[in-house]
Amino acid sequence: MTRLVILGKQGAGKGTQCALLVNHFKIPHISTGDMLRAAVAEGTELGLQAKTIMEAGELVSDDLILGIVQERLTQPDAENGFLLDGFPRTDAQAQGLVEMLAPEGIDMAIDIEVPDAVVTQRMLARGRDDDTPEAIERRLHLYQEETAPLLHFFSSRGALAAVDGLGTEQEVHSRIIKAVESRD
């Protein structure tokens, strides 16, 4: 049973590390952003509710998110664990998650640490239209605001692994595995 949460700024290498982790632990990758985008594409009731909020770059309500996560975690493939990505994003979501998983809770929240200057360089190097220096700075600021309390939330429960995100993909992966296994 491996129940993980992944945290990290845009450009910290979360996508690559998620792919390596789900392969290593044979657990499903549960991304609330992916689930919401799928709902929008399918035009479901949930998608209709989420669409405008997502387009405005705001957060979908905690109740709605907790509902979709709870439903997803009861599916059979999540029985032996999962990797949560993009969730929790607020204190209320973190509390809700702990209640859902009581009494065990999650095993580890992994924070991939990369300095702002490095993620900024990486994002500018991608050259995407929405990666202007101003937009990057804004996203980093928002991440800091929404995530710093979550780091505290998990560390106060002894469930935070802060992993150095500099180095090759394999080096970072090995550090994460070591951190997760040291908790078992």
Task: Summarize as ranges the residues that interact with ligand AMP (CB under 6 A).
Answer: 32-33, 36, 53-54, 57-60, 65, 86-87, 89, 93
Nearer residue to ligand AMP within complex by CB, 8 or 165: 8
d(CA 166, CA 17): 12
**CA angle centred on 57, ends 13 and 141, rounded to 5°:** 60
Q: Two tokens at 68?
A: 């979709």
Nearer residue to ligand AMP within complex by CB, 47 or 174: 47
For ligand AMP, the nearest residue by Cβ is: 33
Nearer residue to ligand AMP within complex by CB, 33 or 67: 33
Question: Least CB distance from residue 93 to ligand AMP, whole Å?
Answer: 6
**3-state class of 153 per DSSP?**
helix
Question: Least CB distance from residue 69 to ligand AMP, whole Å?
Answer: 8
Question: Least CB distance from residue 182 to ligand AMP, whole Å?
Answer: 27
d(CA 56, CA 160): 31
Nearer residue to ligand AMP within complex by CB, 9 or 89: 89
> DSSP characters for 96-127?
HHHHHHTTT--SEEEEEE--HHHHHHHHHHHT
